[in-house]
Structure 1
Amino acid sequence: MKGKRMRPGGQPQKDLTVGYNSSVKLVKSDGAALLYVASDCAPHIRAAAEQIADEHGVPVDGSMSMAQLQQLCGIDVGCAVCAVRSKTDTRG
């Protein structure tokens, strides 16, 4: 299913925001429940994303690689940062 976000097991992933800028925007608007930061992304991206998440009280999961986040998000390129939208966020 090209272009659709997929969870492991093939379930559509509709609660993810993909990419650094979009994810940071979601965190800053208090719409994120969790921020994924790839373990192998550039150090300055990791540091900036973690700092913003910390300032807004959003937990960070840094256990997956860019390739693993790519699969989670169902996109065709590596993913450095993505965010899980909170259940109360209505943007998606």
Structure 2
Amino acid sequence: MPPIVRLTLFKIPDPPTIHLALEKYTTLAQDALKDGKPYIQLSAGHTAHADPRSQGYTFIARTVFLGKEDMHYYDEECKAHGAIKGLLRGKVEGAPVVVVMDG
């Protein structure tokens, strides 16, 4: 089974919050542990260009998992992901868009 690539698009209006999200996603693959070991294959944060085609989305998070089980753990149990959710709670306009695909 190929790896799973997940893109999450956020509308974050505050540039300092975007910077904090970039920092968190830069270290997420090392910080996120499952059974005491890193389980995310790759994580990165990206800022979107200020372009009408971006439709107001300002930040994109990219994560790569070996399988659906790891992605489910990320959503439901991962403490590092929980910390990011806490950081962004109340600072994102609308619901994020999540796109999941084979890598």
TM-score category of the 2 structures, normalised to the smaller one: 0.3 to 0.5
Q: Say which structure is richer in strand.
A: 2
TM-score for both structures, normalised by structure 2: 0.33
Q: Which has the higher helix share?
A: 2
Question: Given the two structures, how large is their TM-score scaled by the length of structure 1?
Answer: 0.36
